[in-house]
Amino acid sequence: MRYLFDEFSLDADRFELSRDGAPLRVEPQVIELLLLLVENAGRMVSKDEIIDVVWRGRVVSEAAVSSRIKSARQALGDDGQTQRYIRTVHKKGFRFGGEVRRDEAETDPGEPSDEAPVPAAVASGEAPGGTSSGRPAVAVLPFVNLSSDAEQEYLSDGITADVIARLCKHRWIDVVARNTSFGFKGRAVDVRELGRLLSVAYVVEGSVQRGGNRIRVAVQLVDAASGLNRWSERYDREMSDIFALQDEITEMIAARLEPEIGLSERSKLIQSRPPDLHAWDCYHLGIFHFFKFTGPDNVEAQRLLLRAQQLDPQFGEAFAWWAYALILGMVYWETPPTPELLDQALAACDRALEIDRQNASFHALRARVLLARCEYRHAIAENQAAIELNPSFAAAHCGLGDSLAYEKRYEEAVECFDRAIALSPNDPQLWAFYSYGALALIFKGDYDTAVAWTDRAAGIPNCQYWAWAHRTVAMALAGHLAAAGRARDRLLQEMPGFSIAFARQKLFYLREAEHVERYLEGLRLAGVPAG
């Protein structure tokens, strides 16, 4: 077996490296290292794996590995700076980054081979899984056309390309390039083998079937390591405007994949609990505690996110999410809403945007801080910027609804909340979409609809006590005082010590006096203690 790349030939049988047909003088151990890397072109090979193969598992220092890597690079005319062929994966291992062809025939090194090459995008590093950032990598395989009409192929290809493009807008996820994914079109692929080849954690598969004037799109998210299905969904639609339909379906798929990947990443980290936490680990552990929505968990989230900042000052997510954890601590729990802390939260979001101005999450989280500072119009602008960057970002639509409601633009606000819920019905903040929407409806004076929204919020396991406060207010203002009393009792059960004075203090983010007084009047009518 020979491996051909550029002007080089690596002969496994002769244990020989040649350049332009001329054998090079290379130590056998370096040849063995090169064979390991080339045979796994496009995949990250760990240092432990290198030691197992090259040193047969003997205990050697990292300096020994580095020395052999340096020799291998020198043989290829490579070095540690350009890394044309051998690329370092920080603190993890190495990846061979050349386009490799396998040649099993007895041919000269210069002769072409019929063996299909490793996709160039994979070898050149476009497949981002396994990067030192720790971000999960995802490959979206071409959706299969199940229609009897081969001409419908354009629809399945179009949906695949759009899902890739929209998923890329969630910048904490690395997505394999379109050209690489489409290299597997029409091929039977083992997901676990694909995961190893592309160094991806997740694979998205799907199918498109058209019958008459109806279309069915099925999609699933698969864990590449285990082969287990993490999420699946099916969309049935009437065909009208094909491009509008394609936009609708791909937007929903991308919106629903993102929180499922986040949930899976947090679950893996919680199960493994690595003793030596890196910035990425601290970040995801912080988000895990953040989404539990309790006072102690919020404090722990703040601590872990602050630690992630310290470990990696270029980790924008740690700054932006720490700011949001700080704000929620002010609204729900014990963090005091002081001007100094509000300034720190805004500065953290500004720092995140300095690192990556095109990150939709950073704009949306900055909008949350601006909302707490009663700077509603600026919050509207930031949420709009987030949505422009990532139309599938449900939390930005929710934040825009909040901002509009405080500006008394109620109809527009409710439309935004509806949009957030439709985009991400499995979102970890879904209860908040309903709860914030209910508050907007209270300000609008639509109390019965507000009650219905709090009913939906209350049915979600991680729902917070403010949803019960909103329910109490809406019931009382609608004249349902007995029901308001029952809601009040549940509120006091969820948050002992809740009072009118407590509510006034926590509603610091409401600038309009009429909003505050209407809310407090509902609490009085329901018999909430004055405090």
pTM, full prediction: 0.64
- Which amino acid makes up residue 502? F
CB 501 within 8 A of CB 530: yes
Domain-wise residue ranges, the chain: 2-123, 137-256, 279-525
- Please check whether residue 439 is in contact with residue 473, taking contact to mean a CB–CB distance below 8 angstroms: no
DSSP code string of 18-56: EETTEE----HHHHHHHHHHHHTTTSPEEHHHHHHHHST
Find residue 17's DSSP bridge partners: 10
Contact assessment for residue 139 and residue 328, using Cβ atoms and an 8 Å cutoff: no
Strands 144-145 and 202-211: parallel
Give yes or no on whether 2-123 and 137-256 have one common fold.
no
For domain 137-256, the question of CATH label 3.40.50.10610 is answered with yes
In DSSP terms, 455 is beta-bridged to: none
Tokens 């219905």, residue located: 452
Q: CA 39 → CA 36, 112, 328, 387, distances in Å?
A: 5, 18, 50, 43
CATH of domain 279-525: 1.25.40.10
Q: Selecting from 3.40.50.1820, 3.40.1260.10, 3.40.50.720, 1.10.10.10, what CATH number does the domain 2-123 have?
A: 1.10.10.10
pLDDT in 10s for each residue of the chain, 531 residues: 788 989 999 987 777 899 988 888 887 778 889 988 988 888 888 888 888 777 765 666 777 788 889 989 999 988 888 888 999 987 788 989 888 888 755 444 333 333 333 333 333 333 333 333 467 888 899 888 887 776 677 778 888 888 888 887 777 778 887 777 887 888 777 888 888 888 888 899 989 888 777 888 888 988 888 888 888 888 888 877 677 777 777 877 877 777 777 777 777 666 666 555 678 788 888 988 898 888 899 999 999 999 999 988 888 889 999 999 999 999 999 899 999 999 999 999 999 999 888 888 899 999 999 999 999 999 999 999 999 988 888 899 999 999 999 999 999 999 999 999 988 887 888 999 999 999 999 999 999 999 999 999 988 888 889 999 999 999 999 999 999 999 999 999 999 999 999 999 999 999 999 999 999 999 999 999 998
Three state DSSP letters for 126-139: CCCCCCCCCCCEEE
